[in-house]
Amino acid sequence: MQFHHASIEVSDLDRSIAFYKEILGFIVETQLVAMGERIAFLTLEEFRLELVQPLIDETIQHRSSHLAFRIQDLREHIDLLRDQHITPVEGPYDLENGWRIAFYEGPDGEKLEFVELC
């Protein structure tokens, strides 16, 4: 078995696509409408992200799940995001296992974790 994709619900698909493209470097793979939802699949190297916007009015609820992205240099990444006026909501932390991590929020409050493996 292999990982295929992570999916998150968003309130504004176009805004979320712009965020993941412009801030994190994703590429739009495909967009479609199915089963009462607007759906976009985005890719970043081997990682695939599904963004889902319900076409009926639903409230996005706080979720404890998150997307984690492995990066080379956390400090450099923090600086790049700060240049976009995006600051961590938690961290950065140095963990006992040698990882350095920081958490951010996407446009709908989804949690994004960036991990540097030291």
Verify that 2 and 49 share a domain, yes or no.
yes
| CATH number for 85 | 3.10.180.10
Verify that 52 and 68 share a domain, yes or no.
no
In the chain, % helix, strand, coil (3-state, to 5) comes to: 15, 45, 40
Verify that 52 and 1 share a domain, yes or no.
yes
3-state secondary structure of 20: helix
Verify that 116 and 75 share a domain, yes or no.
yes
d(CA 81, CA 7): 23
Residue 17 clears pLDDT 60, i.e. is over it: yes
Verify that 66 and 49 share a domain, yes or no.
no
Number of domains in the chain: 2
Verify that 80 and 51 share a domain, yes or no.
no
> Residue 30: what residue type?
T
Domain residue limits at 115: 62-118
d(CA 27, CA 20): 8
d(CA 8, CA 80): 24
The closest alpha carbon to 60, from 106, 29, 91, belongs to 106
Beta strands 6-9; 47-54: pairing state = parallel
Whether 102 contacts 113, CB under 8 Å: yes
* CA 43 to chain CA mean position, Å: 11
User: Which pLDDT tens digit goes with each residue over 53-104?
Assistant: 988 866 655 445 678 888 999 999 999 999 999 999 999 999 888 989 999 9
Predicted TM-score of the model (pTM)? 0.73
- Name the domain boundary from 60, 83, 99: 60
Residue 36 pLDDT level (bands cut at 50, 70, 90): confident
Q: How far apart are the first and last CA of the chain?
A: 28
